[in-house]
Amino acid sequence: MKPTNSRKKFIIGNWKMHTTTAEAGRLARAVVDGVGMEKNVVIAICPPFPYLALVGAILKGSQVSLGAQNHYPEKEGAFTGEISPTMLLDVGCKYVILGHSERRHLLGETDGFINQKVLIALAAGLNVILCVGETLDQRKTGQTETVLDRQLVQGLAGVSPDTLPRLIVAYEPVWAIGSTGHHATPQQVQEAHAVIRRRFGQIFGEKAAQSLPIQYGGSVKPDNAASFLSQPGVDGALLGGASLIADQFIAIVHAGIGEAQTELKPK
């Protein structure tokens, strides 16, 4: 498939289980002030559930969208402690992260369960960030493509083609996240993204594959962001630790802006 420069860069922050009320408010305000009214890059932050309404109020009217880190695959019901996609929409969420490696490997979520979430989120009108990626053992034993194939095929089973414009895939190699001591190279990331786009095209067609934004999530920092974002087929970053420090998050947004402007220049 030939590369295209029509896809925007997506810079999305996943705060995971961090921040207090005061910290969440300060961080959200700093991000809004730091990115201004930038429109060349899509920006979103995903705070913990207790702070969604607070952060959403701060983001209102800005270029930064609100996202959530998860939801349960039902609209409502007797599911103590869970959050529905309807509730996320009600507090202003536009995005939701599903299939994150921490939920797969720490909480035992299966591809089938993640698929249920994907289907109900898309049906509800949310934009889905579907995370896929292999472990270190899987990479060492040559299973990367097989794992990505399984996670895509099973995670996207039954997805209607008309909802694809609201789908983003995030490649997050489990072995390169956090303090593992291992880091993916830009070439490794580019190769994995090409695998994802090729397989997606086999499922939904080449036109859909060329429109699909694929983010990278694997310890992206201000000093390496440009090296990843400049790779063909890498359409942004899903940030963990760097999203908790406003200056770092903003610096990566600016790296995305720079790459977006480069790609939009006439060849």
Residues recognised as catalytic: 100, 172
Contacts of 223 (CB under 8 A, 6+ apart): none
Q: Residue 99: left (phi > 0), alpha (psi -120 to 50), or beta?
A: left
Query: How far is the C-alpha of 203 from the C-alpha of 26, rounded, in Å?
Result: 43
Q: Which of 183, 215, 182, 178 is nearest to 196 (CA)?
A: 215
Residue with tokens 């934004």: 213
Please report the sign of the dihedral spanned by the C-alpha atoms of residue 100, residue 138, residue 221, residue 194: negative
Q: Which H or E run includes 129?
A: strand 127-132
Please report the sign of the dihedral spanned by the C-alpha atoms of residue 168, residue 213, residue 193, residue 203: positive
Cα–Cα distance list, 244 to 27, 110, 221, 266 (Å): 7, 28, 12, 35
Encode 175-226 in three state secondary structure: HHCCCCCCCCCHHHHHHHHHHHHHHHHHHHCHHHHHHCCEEECCCCCCCCHH
Tell me if 58 sits within 8 A of 32, measured CB to CB. yes
